[in-house]
Structure 1
Amino acid sequence: MHLIHTSDWHLGHHLHGVNREYEHRRFLEWLMNTIEDQRADALLIAGDVFDSANPPAAAQALYYRFLAEARHRFPSLDLVVIGGNHDSASRLDAPKPLLRHFNIHVMGSVARTPQGQLDLDQLLVPLRNGDNDVAAWCAAVPFLRPADLPRMGQTENWLERGVGQVYGEVFAALEQRRQPGQALIATGHAYMTGGELSELSERKIQVGNQHALPVAIFPERASYTALGHLHKAQRVGGRDNVRYSGSPLPLSLDEAGYLHQVLLVSLDGERCREIKPLPVPRAVDIIRIPKGRGDKTLDEVLAELRELPERGADLPPEQYPFLEVTVFLPQPEPGLRKQIEEALADKAVRLLKIRTRYPKPTSTLADTAESIDLAQLEPEEVFARKYRSQFDDEPPKAMRQAFHELLEATLMER
C-alpha cells in the first residue's frame, strides 16, 4: 500500500503582499499527477489547508476543485483531511456530510457524540489498497485546541496529559477494529518536542516550548505518523516513521534553501517499508542578492541587480522570481529603495524585501527608520534588530523562545 503525506498548504497565503495562487495551482497540478505516477492508495493532508480561518474565495475554489478532480481521476483513492491551527474547524467541517459521500474524510475538529464522547466512527478511517481490501486504519485526529481536551485544570503538563488521553482512547479503539496485518496510521497537527521551526513563517501552536508534545504520545506500534504544522520536513524524536512532511511552498524568504516535498510512504502489511521524499518543483524561484558574502556595498549590490535578466514575452509576470536584497551601509541611506527600484525597472523580478546591515550597532530602531519599512519586517526580525542595536549580538535561544511566548499570547488575545 502507498500513501502520500502532505501538509501546510496555506492556500490563500501572501508573501510580503504577493498572492501565491499561481504557485498553489501549480503545486496541486503536480500533486495530482504524482498521485497517478506513484499509484497512491491514499492521500493524507495533515492540516493548515488554508492560511487563515477566513480564506478568500479563490483559495476555497482551489481546494474544492482539487478534491473534485482527485475523486474523478482516482475513484478508489482514500482522501483524509485534518484541520490545523490556521484552519477554521467549522469551515472545514461544514461540507463533511457531502464529502464523506464521495469517500473524502474531513476532520476539522474532534468529532464527539451528543453525550460528549469521542465519535470514533468518524475519527477512525479505513484505508483500502488497490485490491479494495482494508490494508490500514487511520486515526484522523486534527489540531487539538484546549476546548477539545478533557478537563484537567491548569495543572502541570495539562496539555500533554489531555492530548495523550485523546490519542490513547483513539488508539485503543483502533486496536479493537483492525485485523492482523492491517497497518495503524496516525495523524496530528502539533508542535513536537525537538521540532525545528522555520522562524520567520510559523509560530508555535501553544504558548512556549514547555508545551511542546513528546513523541511518546504516538505508540511505537503505529506504522506511520503523518504530522503537520512545522514547515521543515523532518523526523521526530529519532523515530523514522514519525514525520513532518513540511510545507510544499516556501512560506518566507528564509525558506529559499529548503527542499520542499511531500512524502511517499510504502507499507508492507503492518510494516513501514520505505519513506521516500518527493521534491516539489518550485514554480517561482527566490533570488537573494548579494550572492556570496553578505557585506557588499550599495554600489556592488546595484551592479548585481543590473545583471539580472530583462523582462520578456516568454515569462509572464506571475512567474517572475521573488527578490530579496541585502545592503551593507556605512550609515542610513534615505534614497535606498528608490535606487534599488531604478536598477530593477526593466528586470524580470519582483522585489519583496530590502534588508540593511550596518558596521556599528545603532542605539534604537528609530535611528535607522529612514531606511527601514517596518511593514516589510516580520515581528521576529524587529525583535532581533532591537536586541542587536542594544547589545551588538544575536538574541540567545532562550530570549527568542521568550519572545515567541509573548508574541503568541498577544495574537491569541486579538
Structure 2
Amino acid sequence: MKILHTSDWHLGVSFEGISREEDHQFFINWLIDTLKEEQIDILIIAGDVFDQPQPSAEAQKIYYQFLFQVSKQTQVKKVIVLGGNHDSPSRLDAPSELLKLLDVFIVGGLNTNTNQLSRYLCPIYNINNEVELVIAVVPYIHEYKLGVRTSFQSEKEIQSNFKQKITEFYFNLAEEAEILAKNAPIMATGHLACVGCESDDAPLEVHMVGTLGGLPNDIFDPRFSYVALGHIHRAYHVENSNAYYCGSPIPLSIKESKTARYVQIVTFQSEKNHKPLIQKIEVPILRNIIEIKGNLEEISNILKNLSWKTAKPPLLAIQISVNTYIPGIDLEIRKNLNHLFFQNTPLIAYIRQIPILNNDSKKEYTEVVSLKDLTTEQVFIKMCESQNQIVDNDLLKAFRSLLNEENI
C-alpha cells in the first residue's frame, strides 16, 4: 500500500499582496499526475489546507475541484484531511458527510470529549474487506481541548502537562487502532511543532509551549509505524522516532525558496512489524521568491544578469541601500525590468529603500516597519510600548493564550 504525505498548502495565501493561486494550481496539476503515475492508494493532507479560517471562494474552489479530480481521475482509495492551526475546524468538518461519497475522511478539530476515539480512526480495507491499515487522524490540538490551562502556571508546568496529555491521547489511539487493525500496521498524523524545528520554520507558534522549543519525540506511541506531520514548512525526520514532516509544497517565503519542496511516499508491507519504505519526491516549482539587496548600481547589475530555471519568472523582493530617499526609483526599476525581459517580466513584490546609517544618523533614525511585516504579537508589544505598559512574561503568556483560543 502506497501513501502520499503532503501538508501546509495554505490555499488562498499571498506574498506581499501577490496571489499564489497560480502556483497552487501548478502544484495540484502535478500532484494529480503523481498520484496516477505512482499508483497511490492513500493521500494525506496533514493540516493547514487553507491559509485563513475563512478562506476565499477561489481557495475553496481549488480545494473542492481537487478532491473531485482525485475521485474521478486516480485510483486513490481514501483522502485523509486534517485541520491545522490556520484552518477553521467547523468549516473543514461541515461538508465531511457529503465528501464521504468521494472517499474523503476529514477531522477538522478535536472534540472536547477525547474519549470518543472512533472519530479519529480510519481503517483502510482491501478487496476482501479485510483491514490492511488503520490511520489515527489527529488534527491540530489546542491545549484547552486536552484540559491544559495556562493561567497561573509556569511555562515549564504548561509544557509538562501538555506533553503528558498529548502522549496519553496518542497512546489511547494506538490501543484502539491495534484492536481494529488486528495484524495490520497502524500509523498516525499530527499538526504540531516537534523537536528539530527552528523559529522560522512555520508562520507562527502553534502552542503555548512553543516558547520552550518543539514537543519531544516520545509523545508518539512507537506502535505507529509512521506519523505524518504538518505545521513545519521544512521536510525533515524527527530524530529517534517514526515521525516525519514533508513541508509546504510551494515556497511561501524567501527562506522557503532557498530549499527544495517535497512530498513523501510511504510504502507499507502487509506484515505489521515491517518498517515502511519512505521516499521523498521533489515538487517542481512554478516560480521562486528571490531577495535582492544592494545599492542602486548593484541592484541594476543583478537585474541585468537575472535568470531562472522555473516555468515562470520569480517574485522579486528588492532592498536598496540609499544615503537619502530617492523619489521615483520604484517606477524606474519597473520600467527597466520591462525593457530587459519584455513579456516574461518578473513580478516585484516590493521595493524598499533602506538608509545607510552612520554613527550620528543611527541615533536619529527609527526604521518604519509595515504592519504586514510584523506578527500579531509584535504589534501587541508595540501597542503596549506606546502606552508605556511594561511587557513581561506573564502579560505575553496571557496574550498568547487569548490568541490561540481563536482557533479553538
Common fold: TM-score over 0.5: yes
Q: Distance in 1 between matches of 2:281 and 2:332?
A: 41
TM-score (norm. length: structure 2): 0.81
Matching residue of 1:264: 265
Distance 1:321 1:158, change over 3 A: same
Of 349, 352, 358, which aligns to 1:352? Answer: 349
Query: Is the contact between residue 146 and residue 165 of structure 2 (CA under 8 Å) also seen in structure 1?
Result: yes
**Amino acid of the residue matched to residue 247 of structure 1?**
S
Q: Say whether residues 1:138 and 2:135 are aligned partners.
A: yes
Matching residue of 1:5: 5
**Amino acid of the residue matched to residue 122 of structure 1?**
R
Distance 1:46 1:350, change over 3 A: same
Distance 1:368 1:84, change over 3 A: closer
Secondary structure in 2 matching 1:352? strand
**Aligned pair count?**
376
Q: Distance in 2 between matches of 1:170 and 1:152?
A: 23
Matching residue of 2:386: none
Query: Is the contact between residue 204 and residue 408 of structure 1 (CA under 8 Å) also seen in structure 2?
Result: no
Matching residue of 1:363: 362
- Within-5 A mapping of 1:132-211: 133-150=130-147, 156=157, 157-180=160-183, 182-198=184-200, 202-207=203-208, 208-210=210-212
**Amino acid of the residue matched to residue 285 of structure 2?**
R
Q: CA deviation at 1:413?
A: 8.0
**Amino acid of the residue matched to residue 256 of structure 2?**
E
Matching residue of 1:110: 110
Matching residue of 2:297: 299
- Within-5 A mapping of 1:314-353: 319-330=312-323, 332-346=325-339, 347=341, 348-353=345-350
Secondary structure in 2 matching 1:122? helix
Q: CA deviation at 1:124?
A: 0.7
Secondary structure in 2 matching 1:344? helix
Q: Distance in 2 between matches of 1:33 and 1:364?
A: 57
Aligned-pair identity (%): 31
Distance 1:267 1:252, change over 3 A: same
Matching residue of 1:394: none
Q: Say whether residues 1:95 and 2:88 are aligned partners.
A: no
Query: Is the contact between residue 110 and residue 148 of structure 1 (CA under 8 Å) also seen in structure 2?
Result: yes
Q: Say whether residues 1:374 and 2:367 are aligned partners.
A: no
Matching residue of 2:254: 253
**Runs of 5+ in structure 1 lacking a partner?**
310-314, 387-400
Q: CA deviation at 1:377?
A: 3.1
Distance 1:93 1:307, change over 3 A: same
User: After TM superposition, where is structure 1 displaced by more than 6 Å over at least 4 residues in a row?
Assistant: 404-407
Secondary structure in 1 matching 2:276? strand
Distance 1:101 1:331, change over 3 A: same
Q: Distance in 1 between matches of 2:115 and 2:104?
A: 20
Distance 1:412 1:133, change over 3 A: closer
Matching residue of 2:65: 65
Matching residue of 2:229: 227
Secondary structure in 1 matching 2:224? coil
Question: How large is the RMSD of aligned CA atoms in angstroms?
Answer: 3.3
Query: Is the contact between residue 148 and residue 162 of structure 2 (CA under 8 Å) also seen in structure 1?
Result: no
Query: Is the contact between residue 185 and residue 225 of structure 2 (CA under 8 Å) also seen in structure 1?
Result: yes
Query: Is the contact between residue 305 and residue 344 of structure 1 (CA under 8 Å) also seen in structure 2?
Result: yes
Report Cα offsets for 1:264-297 as digits up to 9, x if no partner.
11112332332111111101233343xxxx6x43
Q: Distance in 2 between matches of 1:357 and 1:247?
A: 34
**Runs of 5+ in structure 2 lacking a partner?**
383-392
Q: CA deviation at 1:37?
A: 0.9
Q: Distance in 2 between matches of 1:44 and 1:11?
A: 16
Q: Distance in 1 between matches of 2:334 and 2:244?
A: 42
Query: Is the contact between residue 203 and residue 408 of structure 1 (CA under 8 Å) also seen in structure 2?
Result: no
Distance 1:109 1:235, change over 3 A: same
**Amino acid of the residue matched to residue 341 of structure 1?**
R
**Amino acid of the residue matched to residue 144 of structure 1?**
I
Distance 1:111 1:72, change over 3 A: farther
Distance 1:159 1:265, change over 3 A: same
Query: Is the contact between residue 32 and residue 74 of structure 2 (CA under 8 Å) also seen in structure 1?
Result: no
Q: Distance in 1 between matches of 2:70 and 2:328?
A: 51
Q: Distance in 1 between matches of 2:253 and 2:399?
A: 18
Q: CA deviation at 1:375?
A: 5.1
Q: CA deviation at 1:169?
A: 1.7
